[in-house]
């Protein structure tokens, strides 16, 4: 299994977990209330699940889909990082969103060079 495949699977499972958490986990709902973005909770969850499914499906069957999914997830996480900065969360609280933005940016670049 290649390094890129492992990264795609890590990102996919993470976004599936957090995307579905937006629909079922009370703690996540409270976080979105704290961000003053509760009206976007289901949209974010849907985008995370859709992006994860596009990433893994595209990786194995259609690299262009995977490329655009990785870009979308990276942008979503950059926006999440911006929200964390806006609400003045600590560096450690903000680090996961930034890390996933970088991870998916790397995946997008790596896939681009395999097209």
Q: What is the pTM of this model?
A: 0.95
State pLDDT tens for residues 75-93: 999 999 999 999 999 999 9
Place of tokens 């969360």: 89
Six-digit token pair at 7? 């990264």
- Give 28: exposed, middle or buried? Use CB within 10 Å, 0-12, 13-18, 19+: middle
Q: What is the pLDDT of residues 6-56, one digit of tens each?
A: 999 999 999 999 999 999 999 999 999 999 999 999 999 999 999 999 999
**Do 101 and 53 meet the contact criterion of CB atoms below 8 Å apart?**
no
CA atoms of 106 and 60, how far apart (whole Å): 17
The string of DSSP letters for 10-30 reads HHHHHHHHHHHHHHH-HHHHH
């Amino acid at each position: 299994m290649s390094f890129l495949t492992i990264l795609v699977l890590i990102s996919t499972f993470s976004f599936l977990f957090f995307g579905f958490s937006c629909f079922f986990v009370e703690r996540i709902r409270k976080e979105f209330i704290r961000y003053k973005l509760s009206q976007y909770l289901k949209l974010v969850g849907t985008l995370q699940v859709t992006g994860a499914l596009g990433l893994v499906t595209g990786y194995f069957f259609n690299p262009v889909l995977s490329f655009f999914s990785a870009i979308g997830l990276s942008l979503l996480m950059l926006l999440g990082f911006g929200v964390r900065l806006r609400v003045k969360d600590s560096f450690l609280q903000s680090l996961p969103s930034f890390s996933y933005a970088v991870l998916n940016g790397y995946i997008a670049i790596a896939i681009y060079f395999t097209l």
